[in-house]
């Protein structure tokens, strides 16, 4: 029986992936934030493991629990899903720097911690064991107001690329997953969330950028999420198809909105691609 560990599995995509893998006969260990509400306790084939990815001791303890239950067997699949989006949101000139470390502790260092702690189990697995590190379509789109978030996800891809080199001799496949907008709790109430983030910016910053960015951030972005956002069911099905591949590429755009971005980022000159992104937010052309 194949085994998997999924971080951030209490709700959202991680929750759905845990259920679907268990339904396919996998032995699933689900990382759940201590005290978090979840319905996984009633799912056959899923073992809940308390884990706070932002805490070194918690991650080590969770790895020890999984290792004890696996015995001599290896871990066939590690999925780093846990992450947050609506933390340290803001224009670069207006970000609350006190909040940025929290974002990175979860989104970036959390994946680093988990990989480090679980790698011995992954290396023990029959080839090809796999690691999926969850990034974001923001790596390509670089949306305004999401600079810190984009940085945290760019760093995750740096982790992926390094692991691909370090783990190649062991036959371990590693990839980055870059979903587009997924209609989960993370993107719920997008109009209220984006407007609240805008209003939280310092007044001098808002007055400087409002003419160029406010409409794109508080109106056009929520419109895009509502009209083109992907259902969790469709996204997780697509991710499981990636899991089934024997040889993984370095990254995959997932979702009907993100896939075209991936293609265009490869085919278009960088200036043309940037102009395309700015056009979606109605940002004026760069002055030269």
Active site residues: 149, 153
DSSP one-letter string for 170-181: GT-EEEEEEE--
CA 56 to chain centre: 20
Q: At what angle do helices 12-23 and 232-243 cross, to 10 degrees?
A: 50
| 46-50: strand order across its sheet | 46-50, 27-32, 3-6, 77-80, 130-134, 173-179, 251-254
Cβ neighbours of residue 165 closer than 8 Å, sequence gap 6 or more: none
Long-range contacts made by residues 61-65, C-beta under 8 angstroms, separation at least 24? 62/31, 62/117, 63/114, 63/117, 63/118, 63/121
Question: Residue 193 and residue 188: Cα distance in Å, rounded?
Answer: 8
Terminal Cα-to-Cα distance of the chain (whole angstroms): 60
């Amino acid at each position: 029986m194949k085994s998997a560990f999924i971080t951030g599995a209490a709700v959202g995509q991680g929750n759905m992936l845990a259920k679907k893998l268990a339904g396919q006969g996998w032995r699933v260990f689900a990382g759940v934030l201590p005290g978090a509400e979840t319905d996984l306790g009633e799912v056959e084939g899923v073992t809940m493991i308390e884990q706070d990815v932002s805490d070194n001791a918690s991650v080590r303890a969770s790895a020890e629990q999984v290792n004890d239950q696996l015995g001599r067997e290896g871990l066939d699949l590690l999925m780093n899903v846990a992450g947050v989006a609506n933390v340290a949101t803001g224009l670069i000139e207006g970000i609350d720097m006190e909040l940025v470390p929290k974002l990175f502790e979860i989104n970036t260092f959390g994946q680093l911690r988990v990989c480090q702690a679980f790698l011995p189990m992954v290396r023990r697995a029959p080839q090809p064991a796999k690691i999926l590190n969850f990034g974001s379509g923001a790596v390509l789109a670089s949306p305004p107001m999401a600079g810190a978030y984009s940085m945290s996800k760019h760093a995750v891809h740096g982790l992926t690329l390094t692991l691909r080199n370090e783990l190649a001799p062991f036959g371990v496949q590693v990839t980055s997953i870059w979903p587009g907008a997924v209609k989960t709790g993370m993107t719920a109430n997008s109009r209220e969330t984006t407007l609240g983030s805008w209003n939280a910016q310092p007044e001098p910053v808002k007055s400087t950028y409002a003419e160029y960015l406010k409409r794109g951030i508080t109106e056009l972005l929520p419109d895009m999420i509502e009209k083109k956002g992907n259902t969790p069911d469709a996204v997780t099905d697509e991710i499981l198809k990636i899991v089934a591949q024997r040889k993984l590429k370095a990254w995959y755009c997932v979702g009907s909105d993100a896939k075209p971005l991936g293609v265009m980022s490869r085919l278009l000159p960088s200036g043309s691609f940037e102009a395309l992104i700015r056009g979606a937010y109605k940002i004026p052309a760069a002055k030269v």
